[in-house]
Amino acid sequence: MKDIQDKPLENPEEIRALTEDEMQEVLNKYDRESSTRIFAGKKQVIMKWLLIAFSIFALAINTVWRLPVQQHRALFIAAVLFLVYLLYPAGQFMDKKNNKIPFYDYILAVVSASSFMYMYINFQGIVSRVGNYQTIDIIIAAIAILLLLEACRRVVGIPILVVVLTFIAYAYFGNHLPGIFSHRGFSIERIISHLYYTTEGVIGTPLGVCSTFIFLFILFGSFLEKTGIGQFFIDIANSIAGRATGGPAKVAVIASALEGTISGSSVANTVSSGSFTIPMMRKMGYRPEFAAAVEAAASTGGQIMPPVMGAAAFLMAEITNIPYSTIIIAAIVPAVLYFTGIMLMVHFEAKKLHLQGMPPEEIPKFSHLMLTKWHLLLPLIVLVLMMDNGYTATRSALCAIVLAIIVSMFRADTRMSFKDILSALENGARNIISVAVACSVAGIIVGIVTLTGLGLKLATGLLALASGSVLLALFFTMIASIILGMGVPTTANYVIMATITAPIVVDLGIPVLPAHMFVFYFGIVADITPPVALAAYAGSAIAHSNPLRTGITATKLAIAAFIIPYVFALNPSMLIIDTPFFDVVTVVITSLIGMFGISIGMEGYCITHLPWLDRILAIIGGLTLIVPGLVTDIIGFCLIGIVLVLQYFHKKHYRKKGILQKRKKPAFNEPRE
């Protein structure tokens, strides 16, 4: 099928929701983990049962089949690599629909799985000769690492592979570097054995977290999808915002925020909800770049939306040993500000273009939705309550999975059949593959950091490069987080940030929770930050817009995500950490008004169009209000007040000159001229 991005839309009647095949085409291009071979006949059946068996196996090693962590993780990644080489072709140029697996991929599947099974089978012998490995041990470890890197190239993409190879090169050649980054140097054998045989390498913390918590939460999301909760979220969003000015765009924002609770991928979220919200926005009159950017920015924001945060909230609680309730409370204000910024820009764009809401007959009733499908929310509620009451992430996720099956039986239109349960197991296995590969490769980075002491060197180097300025050091850490987060699913993204960049921020003297939230935010916004911006590019394929312009527009809409982390890193009161109630209320109110100022400044419209000077004043006023402090709040209120007064006089001036003309608002399905 020809890329739909290459099909320009000349006729507004051609604007329509995507078919399933077109959605899959967009996912294949921009979401690498979805770009698998497509089988038919017996091979399709065999692959389906292999994936189901993998899910059952992963459930077993997390419940009834207890193993030492090294054997547990080695078995898990062995099964993952076996599936990778059967599912993912060597190149994007290959025909994924030819129903054939080349002979060399069968060989690579067996060899890659065997290379990690070696650790499982010979575990006792390997433990007994730690530090005195045999030649065969090193050869097998080298093969395992090379095949893991090739799997990473196929599944996750080139950017993270380049980063990993750079770290490995540093371990080998670092003794030739000058200054603080120099180390004593390590042989190939030492590097390989450290990365393969210790729990500070491939089978380290990232893979351990993936094979337990992440797998269970992804499987939970797969079961929830089978209950129809995705459509329920979309209907809820329509009932809340459909009638409002610029209704479809606001629906996209709300729906994507809700879907982020069950989706661990910004790209998949963009395509699933954007397949109909983007055409709705285009029909209404929004520019293609703006429509795609709204969906991409909102879908990316869904990953930072409490109480789930793309499952990162649960992982953050496990990794930092901070209570789950503290994390979700801390995430509320930043998330509210993020979505407030997008909603305000959507609103003022609609006002500027004289756009209206959806027809009443197309909007479902909120009361009817809640009466008929409220039960779909029960698994999420129970999951959050169990985590909040101190249950382990594993037990909470398992209970939520069972409850999702039970509540689906309450109504015929949500009921899961046995076939649906098998399909959920299959989808869960598919969705975990890319995350597992990314986490394993992240383990290589962590292994190099621990082997060379690079973590402390990076923190020292960043501060030296920043001339001792914590703000500049945070800026450099932001860049590193965006690079490391390129094209990586949310859960794996956070694991990478938590193990690589978060310690750097902690070394700058910033508390643990703000440090982890800081790097997590910037790892996530990599999906809308050019030049990679996979979520924005996926949205542009649906909207038939310019990808780079879409990425730039999405970055503008998500401006809060680039500002707020600096604020709570330097002043944790925004995260409601040990903050009095009055101060919390003050921070929320001033920050919301600050986002109003930034939004009208970025959008260039409030009561009427803003001249450039007014836009600059509004942005400066908004920024000073977001930064907690009495002096900054007074400055911000004054600047935004001046802008609003000027708006009143500008509107009177324009009317007197006859510049402002009342235009007829187009109907929802009437194209804008």
In angstroms, rounded to a whole number, what is the distance separating the alpha carbons of residues 494 and 283?
37
Q: Taking 90 as the threshold, does the pLDDT of residue 276 lie above it?
A: no
**Domain residue ranges of the chain, discontinuous segments joined by +:** 212-579, 582-660
User: Does pTM surpass 0.85?
Assistant: no
Distance (Å, whole) CA 258 – CA 186: 48
11 pLDDT higher than 60? no
Q: How far is CA 212 from the centre of its chain?
A: 19
Handedness of CA 185, 189, 191, 193 (dihedral sign): negative
Q: Find all residues with CB under 8 Å of 477, minimum gap 6, and list them.
A: 462, 501, 504, 505, 518, 519, 522
pLDDT at position 55 is 96
Tokens of 117: 């099974």
pLDDT greater at residue 489 or residue 621: 621
Looking at residue 4, its pLDDT comes to 45
User: What would the DSSP string read from start to end of 531-582?
Assistant: TT-HHHHHHHHHHT--HHHHHHHHHHHTHHHHHHHHHHHH-GGGGTSS--HH
Q: Kindly report the backbone phi and psi dihedral angles of residue 148, in degrees, each rounded to the nearest multiple of 5, phi listed first.
A: -65, -40
Encode pLDDT of 369-404 as tens digits: 888 888 888 998 898 888 888 788 888 889 999 999
Token representation of residue 505: 């921020």
Give residue 658's pLDDT: 61
Residues 426, 55: contact at Cβ < 8 Å? yes
d(CA 253, CA 240): 11
Residue 172 confidence (pLDDT) above 60: yes
Integer Cα distance of 27 and 21 in angstroms: 10
CA distance 125 to 122: 5
Listed residue (614, 658, 537) closest to 266, CA to CA: 537
Residue 242: what pLDDT? 77
- Cα–Cα distance measured from residue 384 to residue 391, given in angstroms and rounded to the nearest whole number: 10
Task: For the chain, give the percent of residues with pLDDT over 90.
Answer: 30
Return d(Cα 570, Cα 568) in angstroms, integer.
Answer: 5
Where is mean pLDDT largest: 143-152, 233-242, 457-466?
143-152
Which pLDDT score, from 0 to 100, does residue 8 have? 45
> What are the pLDDT digits (tens) for 325-372?
889 889 988 988 898 888 888 888 888 887 777 777 778 888 888 888
User: Residue 183 and residue 100: Cα distance in Å, rounded?
Assistant: 48
pLDDT above 70 (res 663): no
Q: Which of 669, 470, 629 is nearest to 15 (CA)?
A: 669
pLDDT at residue 10 tops 50 = no
Q: What confidence tens digit (pLDDT) does each residue in 66-79 have?
A: 889 999 999 999 99
| Close Cβ partners of 152 (under 8 Å, ≥ 6 residues apart) | 160, 161, 164, 437, 438, 440, 441
The more confidently predicted of residues 24 and 442 is 442
